[in-house]
Structure 1
Amino acid sequence: MNARIRIKTLVAGAALATLGLAGTAIAQTFPARPVTLMVPYPAGGLSDVIARSLNVTLGKQLGQPVVIENLGGASGAIAAQKVLSNPSDGYTVFQGSPNELILAPLANASNKLRSEDFRLVQMIATAQIAFLAKKDLPVNSVDEFVEYARKAAKDGKPLTFASVGPGSFYHLLGEHLSKVTGIPMVHVPYKGAAPAEQDLMAGQVDFFLAPYGKKYDEMQKQGRVKVLAMLNSERLESVKQYPAISESKQLKDFTFKIWTGYFVKKDTPDPVATALHKAITGTLGDPAVHQALEANSQLLPRPQTLAEADRAYTDGIQQFRSIAKSIGLQAQ
C-alpha cells in the first residue's frame, strides 16, 4: 500500500514538474502571434475608445500586434462567453468591468459564465458616471429632474432610462435611482453606449447614467444632450464645469464610479499572466496612453501587482453582488 502511495506521489510530482516546464516554455515564447483584445461593446462607445488608446502601445510592449475585436450584446456577456470558449493561452484578453463579469450573470438566466471564471491581470482605469438627459427635457439640474420625474410618473408617463443591457451597472443605477426617489421609471436596454447615445440625442429615451467621455462636452455645447451632473462626491478639476451630484439636495449621496480591467481565463498559466501583466503595466506607464485616457476623463489607478489585482477583483465581486441584491435584481 505504501509503495502504491509512493508511486502515486512520484507520478503526481512528475506531472507537476512537467506542467511547470510547459508553463516556463510558454512564457518564453509568448506571444508568438497577434493577441486579440475583446471589447464587449460596438465600436464608437467609450469602451472602444479605451481599447484604441492602449492597443498599439500594448502591442509594442508584447512584441506582437494587439487586434481589437468588438462584440456587443447581452450586456457584454456574449463577448465574455466567446473568451471562455477560446483556449486558456493568453491570446485573447478581455477588456471587462463589473458590467459583463459580475452583473450580467446575475441578470440573465441563460448566461452560464461565472465571475470566478476570469482572472484580473491589471486595472486600466476608473470611469466617472455622467447624468445625461435628452436635450428637450425641461430640467437643468438634478433636483429639477427629480421633481419633473415625479410629476411625469404621477401623470402616467414615467421617464425612460437607457442602459447597455439588462443587469449592466447602468441598468442597476437607473433602478437604484428609481428606488431611492420612490419614482417609477422605465428601463430601455441597448447593446452598447453608442446606440444608447444615438437614441438619447434623438429624444427616444429620457436619460442615461453613462460612463463619462469628453465627447459629451461637445454634445452639450451643440445642444444635443444635457449633462446635469457627475456622480462624484466632489467637483473634480477635470470636469469642473459640471456639478457633482453631491451638490444636489435630493440625491447628494448618489455617488458612483466603475472600473475597467484586462482579464484572462482563470486557468491561464501563471507565466503567461505574468507576461501580460508586465506588458499592460508598461503600457499604462506610457505618457501618450496616460494622455489619451485622461482626455476621456478616465481616472488612472495605481498599478497593481497580480496578487493585488486578484484581491481587488474578489472585493469587486462582493461589492457589486451586494448592489444587485439591494435592488432585488432577478435573473430573466
Structure 2
Amino acid sequence: MNAPFALTRKLGTLLAGLLLAGAATAADPYPSRPVTLMVPYPAGGLSDSIARAISVPLGKALGQPVIVDNLGGVSGALAAQKVLKAPADGYMLFLGSPNEVILSPLANAAVKLRAEDFRLLTQLTVNPLVMVARKDLPANSIDEIVALGKSAGGKGLTYGSVGVGSMYHLVTESMAQQTGIKLTHVPYKGGAPLLQDMGGGNVDIAILPYATNYRGIVKLVGWVGDQRSKLDSSIPAFGEGKVLKNFNQQIWAGILVKTGTPEDVAVRLHKALAEVMQDAEVRKLLEATGSEVAKTTSLGEASKLLEAETAKFRAMAKSINLQPQ
C-alpha cells in the first residue's frame, strides 16, 4: 500500500466518522443541551420572578439546565425579536404575554413581528391589573383619581407603563377616553424602573399587573374590574365607584416558542411544563408574586387562546386609534 493511498484512506475514514458523529448528534432527543428562557424585561420585575420560579424545575423536567436571560426595551419587543431570530428548535423559549407578541407591533413601526410568529404552549399565570399611585398623591380611589386629574390646573396626571403599545398603555388610554381625564404617558423599559420612579414621586399613577412587592413602595388605588380580587381583598375595585363601571382587564404570562418549532419538541416542552405547574412549591412561588396560577391546557386550547387574545387586543388598539410610530 503506497503512502498517498493510505493517507486518502485515513482521511476517508476520518470524514466518515465525523459524518456519523454529526448524524448521531442531529438525532439526539430534545433537549441535548441547555435551554434559554428569554424574559422581555429587566431583572427584578414580575416577569423575571415568574421565570425564576419555573426555570430550575423546568430544567429538571427536561433533563437540561434552563437559563434565564433578561432583555428589556421596546415594550418587550427586543426580547421577542431575539427569539424569532433564533432557530425554531425549542432551545429558545419566550416568557411572553399579549404585551410583546400582540401589542408591540401595533404601536411601533420598527417592530417587525406578529402574534402569528409565535406558538403558545401554555399559560403560566393570570394577573389581575391594579392601579397604583405615588404615595403622596391626594387620591385614594378611581373616582378621586379622575376628579384630581380633571382639576389639576389643566395639566392632568402623568402615568407610567412598560412602553408605548403595551397593554398598560392601551388600558390606561382607554380609561382616560371613557372618563375624560387628561393623562400624559411616561414609558419605561420595565416595571422595576417604573416602580422605582413612582416610589420617588416622579410619576403619578400606573396600571400594572398586581404584585405583592408593591406595598411600601406605592399606593394601591383599585382593582381594574368590578370585583375585588382574592389576592388582596382590602383593595377596592373600580366597579365600586361611580365613574368606571364594567371596566374589567387582566393579563397573562405564558411560555411561547417560534412558529415552526417541531411538533415533537412542542409536545416535549408542553409535557414538562404541565409537570412543573403541578409542583406545589412552584405554585407557591408563583402565588407569592401576586399571580394566580393558570389552568393547564392542551396545545390546541393554547393556540385557540392566543388567536382569541390577538383579535381582542387588536380591536382595543383600533378603538383608541393606536397608530404605529
User: Hey, what does 2:309 align to over in structure 1?
Assistant: 316
Q: CA deviation at 1:27?
A: 8.5
Distance 1:174 1:27, change over 3 A: farther
User: Hey, what does 1:177 align to over in structure 2?
Assistant: 175
Distance 2:69 2:259 in 1: 21
Q: Which runs of 5+ in 1 are unaligned?
A: 1-24
CA shift digits 1:28-80 (9 cap, x unpaired) = 61111110000000000001011011111111110111000000000000001
Asked if the contact 1:89–1:272 (Cα under 8 Å) also holds between the matched residues in 2, the reply is yes
1:291 aligns with 2:284: yes
* 1:120-159 map, 5 Å: 120-152=120-152, 155-159=153-157
Asked if the contact 2:225–2:246 (Cα under 8 Å) also holds between the matched residues in 1, the reply is no
User: Hey, what does 1:8 align to over in structure 2?
Assistant: none
How many residues are aligned here?
301
* 1:1-332 map, 5 Å: 29-152=29-152, 155-217=153-215, 219=216, 224-332=217-325
Distance 2:143 2:183 in 1: 16
CA shift digits 1:122-175 (9 cap, x unpaired) = 1111111111011111111111111111111xx132201000001000111111
Q: CA RMSD in A?
A: 1.3
Q: Which runs of 5+ in 2 are unaligned?
A: 1-24
Counterpart code for 1:191: K
Identity of aligned residues (%): 50
Could you state the TM-score of these two structures normalised by the residue count of structure 2? 0.90
Distance 1:120 1:57 in 2: 20
Q: CA deviation at 1:252?
A: 2.4
Q: CA deviation at 1:295?
A: 1.4
Asked if the contact 2:124–2:252 (Cα under 8 Å) also holds between the matched residues in 1, the reply is yes
Could you state the TM-score of these two structures normalised by the residue count of structure 1? 0.88
CA shift digits 1:233-271 (9 cap, x unpaired) = 312332111112211111122221001110000000000
| Runs of 4+ residues over 2 Å off in structure 1 | 25-28
Counterpart code for 1:63: G
Counterpart code for 2:90: G
Distance 1:262 1:276 in 2: 9
Asked if the contact 1:26–1:271 (Cα under 8 Å) also holds between the matched residues in 2, the reply is no
Distance 2:39 2:300 in 1: 24
Asked if the contact 2:56–2:65 (Cα under 8 Å) also holds between the matched residues in 1, the reply is yes
| Secondary structure, counterpart of 2:58 in structure 1 | helix
Distance 1:31 1:238 in 2: 37
Asked if the contact 1:131–1:207 (Cα under 8 Å) also holds between the matched residues in 2, the reply is yes
Distance 1:26 1:228 in 2: 54
Distance 2:252 2:121 in 1: 13
Distance 1:27 1:74, change over 3 A: farther
Distance 2:46 2:142 in 1: 23
